[in-house]
């Protein structure tokens, strides 16, 4: 098979406590549903000489590529605040592929069968959730948000039993790595300082070589991860994305969005929006995402204490100094992001009040999050009468006054807004409709949706039907798919 695989499996070479050697469990009748040809090309992979059947056997794990070393990674996690020892219970990392541009990518099969970490699970995945991850992860990528990506979804020809009988499937996930905050928690829980040091050095070598020569590498790693996660979550907030399950095992140390279970994009703006069927108390609501990010970073800091300083009290003091900067750093970056969304150059002391007033109006009048900014950019949408009411009109006049401070030949406010405000997001109604059709074997709508998400900042005839949210569903819920 001259596909172009080039494996160099560095994680496999770490101590055995970091992983379990295990192959994907073969499936009965693999069938390719979708292949991301653009991503394959970027990875330097060429499937053009293979037929669909051959591709299906490779991307289901039935035929493993030469040079792969299949493992399930060990990790732990605080799931809704409760610590649990976990690991890849339904995923197998087949290896690290080196692209022609010398970039390293994990190749993982999700839904590939039982491992020693499966607990009572069957290790399998259903078609709907795997296609959802494909759609959402690709949407985030084209929205210019760091994320894992999806190379393919393959049906297994087997049934998966959940609340109902579902079609089995395997997703091929591509990541700069699958190392999580939970990976550090797993190693720290073993209380073996040498293993923790190995992991810190490995992550720095792989992701942050610029801090390799710092005197206190563990402390610098804490700083850089905090900055990465602040930037990531601000990007989520920019587009109205709700991850839905921000457990520590779902926070990647590379700064990528990872693990798309009960995730969705917000339609009507409500700061307390939760879509996840299992988040009964709103722990991972839209407005709580920054707070949970800080909470997760604090758990990461706890793992690093033995390496930050031999004196525990001193280590806690140093780590606390870093974490106490979270709010200021987040607020500053968030405010600048919002200025970009509203086309405001420079800084005015009244900006924060202007932004908060807009969000208050959006929430009170139940305005659509994405379309409100489209309205301000004069994008043609179905106009909401609330945009014509006094409260919004008064706010808009204040905003237009603020924009006068931008007057400069180099300050194009509309261009700035269009770079930061998507016209199209994968709306819940359209995603669900596409997945429903795909479960029936009809892929036309899914393919159309995937084509549209590649240009979220542009209007075109293809995307017009996807701009508006569709019929309102206040009880809309998403599920983990496990």
Instruction: Give Cα separations from 410 to 335, 341, 420 (angstroms).
Output: 21, 17, 17
The SS3 assignment for 284 reads coil
Q: Is 194 a catalytic residue?
A: no
The SS3 assignment for 19 reads strand
Cα–Cα distance measured from residue 180 to residue 247, given in angstroms and rounded to the nearest whole number: 10
Q: DSSP letters of 215-266?
A: SSHHHHHHHHHHHHHHHHHHHHHHHTEE-S---GGG-BTTS-B---SS-EE-
Cα–Cα distance measured from residue 11 to residue 75, given in angstroms and rounded to the nearest whole number: 13
> How crowded is residue 102: how many other Cβ atoms within 10 Å of its Cβ?
7
Cα–Cα distance measured from residue 264 to residue 243, given in angstroms and rounded to the nearest whole number: 7
Helix (H) or strand (E) segment spanning residue 35? strand 31-35
Say if CB 285 and CB 242 are below 8 A apart.
yes
> How crowded is residue 310: how many other Cβ atoms within 10 Å of its Cβ?
10
Q: Which of 249, 259, 267, 279 is catalytic?
A: 249
Q: Which residues pair with 170 in a beta bridge?
A: 154
Cα–Cα distance measured from residue 177 to residue 184, given in angstroms and rounded to the nearest whole number: 14
Nearest to 324 by CA among 301, 345, 346, 304: 301
Nearest to 242 by CA among 203, 272, 205, 197: 272
> How crowded is residue 404: how many other Cβ atoms within 10 Å of its Cβ?
7
Residues carrying an active site annotation? 249
């Amino acid at each position: 098979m001259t596909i172009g695989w080039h494996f160099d499996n560095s994680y496999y070479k770490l101590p055995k406590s970091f992983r379990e050697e295990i192959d994907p469990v073969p499936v009965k009748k693999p069938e390719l549903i979708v292949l991301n040809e653009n991503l394959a090309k970027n990875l330097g992979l060429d499937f053009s000489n293979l037929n669909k059947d051959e591709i299906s056997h490779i991307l289901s794990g039935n035929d493993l590529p030469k040079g792969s070393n299949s493992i399930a990674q060990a990790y732990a996690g605080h799931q809704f605040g409760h610590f649990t020892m976990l690991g890849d219970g339904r995923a197998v990392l087949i290896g690290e592929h080196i692209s022609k541009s010398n970039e390293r990518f994990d190749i993982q099969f999700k839904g590939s069968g039982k491992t020693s970490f499966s607990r009572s699970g069957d290790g399998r995945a259903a078609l709907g959730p795997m296609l959802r991850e494909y759609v959402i992860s690709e949407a985030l990528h084209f929205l210019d948000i760091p994320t894992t990506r999806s190379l393919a979804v393959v049906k297994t020809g087997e049934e998966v039993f959940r609340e109902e009988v579902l079609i089995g499937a395997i997703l091929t996930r591509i990541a700069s790595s699958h190392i999580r905050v939970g990976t550090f928690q797993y190693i720290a829980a073993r209380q073996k300082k040498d293993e923790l040091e190995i992991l810190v050095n490995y992550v720095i070598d792989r992701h942050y070589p610029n801090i390799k020569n710092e005197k206190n590498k563990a402390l610098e790693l804490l700083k850089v991860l905090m900055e990465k996660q602040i930037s990531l979550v601000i990007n989520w907030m920019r587009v109205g994305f709700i991850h839905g399950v921000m457990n520590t095992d779902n926070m990647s140390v590379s700064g990528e969005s990872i693990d798309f279970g009960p995730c969705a994009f917000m339609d009507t703006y409500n700061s307390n929006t939760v879509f996840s069927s299992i988040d009964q108390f709103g722990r991972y609501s839209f407005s709580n995402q920054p707070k949970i990010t800080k909470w997760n970073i604090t758990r990461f800091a706890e793992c690093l204490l033995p390496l930050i300083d031999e004196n525990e009290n001193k280590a806690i003091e140093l780590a606390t100094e870093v974490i106490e900067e979270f709010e200021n750093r987040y607020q500053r970056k968030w405010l600048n992001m919002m200025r970009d969304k509203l086309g405001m150059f420079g800084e005015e002391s009244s900006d924060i009040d202007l932004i908060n007033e807009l969000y208050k109006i959006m929430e009170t009048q139940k305005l659509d999050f994405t379309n409100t900014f489209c309205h301000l950019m004069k994008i043609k949408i179905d106009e909401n009468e609330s945009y014509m009411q006094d409260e919004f009109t008064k706010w808009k006049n204040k905003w237009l006054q603020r924009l006068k401070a931008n007057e400069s030949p180099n300050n194009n406010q509309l261009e700035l807004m269009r770079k930061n405000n998507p016209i199209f997001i994968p709306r819940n109604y359209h995603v669900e409709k596409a997945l429903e059709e795909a479960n029936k074997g009809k892929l036309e709508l899914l393919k159309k949706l995937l084509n549209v998400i590649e240009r979220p900042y542009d209007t075109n005839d293809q995307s017009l039907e996807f701009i508006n949210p569709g019929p309102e569903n206040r009880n809309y819920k998403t599920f983990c798919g496990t």
